[in-house]
Every structure is written in C-alpha cells, then in structure tokens.
Structure 1
Amino acid sequence: MKVLIYGASLNPQRYAYLAANMLHQKGHEIVLVGIKKGELLGQTIHPPEWMESDVHTVTLYVGLRNQKGLLDYLKQINPKRVIFNPGTENQELESGLEAAGIAAVEACTLVMLQTGQF
C-alpha cells in the first residue's frame, strides 16, 4: 500500500520519522513530503507542493497552522483515507474530505500499525 507522510521529518525524535520507519518495516511503500530537504530510508523528502498518484493513505504530521490549502491538495491526490494523528485534528478539513468521498480518521498511525488496524 502506498502511504504519503505529510510532514515527514529527519529528526528521529519526531513521530513522522518513527512512522516512516515502521511503515517501511511493514512493507508499505512510502512517499515523504515535508518542508526540510533530505532523504530517509532511501526516499527523498519532497516539498509540500509535491503531487503523487495512486496514494492509498495520507498520514498527517502537521498542526492546524500548517494546514492552509491542504484540502485542495488532498483532493487532488485523492487518497482513500487521511489519518489525522494526535495534534493534527481539524474538523473543517475532515468535513471537507468526507464531502469529497475521502475517509477522515482521527487516530495514531503508530498505534494502528502496532495493533494491526492499519
């Protein structure tokens, strides 16, 4: 399954970093999008305007103040679901996604992966 990590980080103490590693270990194809350039697990961290096709899940790791314009971006990518990790919840964005036929899930990607709910 192709998973886009929006808010990818090179900092090993960040949850986005941990999620990238766990998704990779569990065999998921990851696409990294973030504001800082770099490479993680052999994958380039792309800038926030990066468009990717055939994405099943987007997992968010950016807070409310960094979500401006995100609805249009996510609608263009058109994933099956968007996971709002703790601290990223946004009722307006979630409602907009649901209206576009994209599932909005408030959950923790790490917990979902560890408990087989991903």
Structure 2
Amino acid sequence: MKTLIVGASTYPGRYSYLAANSLLGHGHEIVLIGKENGQVSGNQILHGQPELEGIDTITLYINPTRQPELYDYLLSLKPRRIIFNPGTENPEFEQMAEDQGVEAIEGCTLVMLSTRQY
C-alpha cells in the first residue's frame, strides 16, 4: 500500500516526519509532498501536484486553510481513504471525499500504526 504524506517535512520533530518513518518501519511505501526541499529516509519531498499513481491512503499534515487548493488534485488520485490528522480536520473536504466514495478518517496516523488499525 502506498501512502501520500501531504505536508512532509525534513524536521525530525514534525509529526509528518515521524509518520513517514513509522510508515516505512511498518513496511509501507511512501510518497512525500511538501514545501521544503530535501529527503526523509531516502524519499525525496516532491512539490506542487506531481502525477502519481497507486495511492491507497493520503495522510494530511497541512492546515485546513491550505487544503482547498488541493481538493481536486487529491481526489483525482482516487485514494481509498484520507486521514485527517489532528489539526487538519476539514468538514467540507471530508464531505467531498465521502461523496466520491473515499473514506474520510479523523484520526492520527501514528496512533493508527501503533495500534495496528492502519
């Protein structure tokens, strides 16, 4: 399963960084999108709206005010689910996702991984 992390960071204290490493540690393939240049555990942070295929899960680490510009792009990736981590909850986007058959989960990727709910 391939997970897209939106809001990726090279800073070890950021939850997106911790999630990237935890996902890798649990055997998941990751794709990173963020504003920063750099890598996380050998995975390059991509910018903008790159063409991607095979995304199962999108996990969000960006403020809801920054999400509207990505609605169409993220939904076009046809993920199975979108995880809205704490602070990223967005009822408008969650409803849009559900309307397109995408499961919208308000949860924490790190907790889901540690409790085997991922």
TM-score normalised per structure 2: 0.97
Q: Map of 1:77-116 to 2, 5 A cutoff?
A: 77-116=77-116
One-letter code of the match for 1:37? N
Partner of residue 75, structure 1: 75
Q: Percent identity?
A: 50
Alpha-carbon distance, 1:57 to partner: 0.2
Partner of residue 15, structure 2: 15
- Higher mean C-alpha displacement, 8-17 vs 41-50: 41-50
One-letter code of the match for 1:49? Q
Partner of residue 29, structure 1: 29
One-letter code of the match for 1:76? S
Structure 2: tracts of 5 or more residues without a match: none
Alpha-carbon distance, 1:71 to partner: 1.5
Where in structure 1 do 4 or more consecutive aligned residues deviate above 6 Å?
none
Alpha-carbon distance, 1:48 to partner: 2.9
- Higher mean C-alpha displacement, 66-75 vs 21-30: 66-75
SS of residue matched to 2:18: helix
Partner of residue 44, structure 1: 44
Structure 1: tracts of 5 or more residues without a match: none
Q: Deviations over 1:35-80 (max 9, x none)?
A: 1111111111000312311100000000112112222011211100
Q: Distance in 2 between matches of 1:79 and 1:32?
A: 15
TM-score normalised per structure 1: 0.97
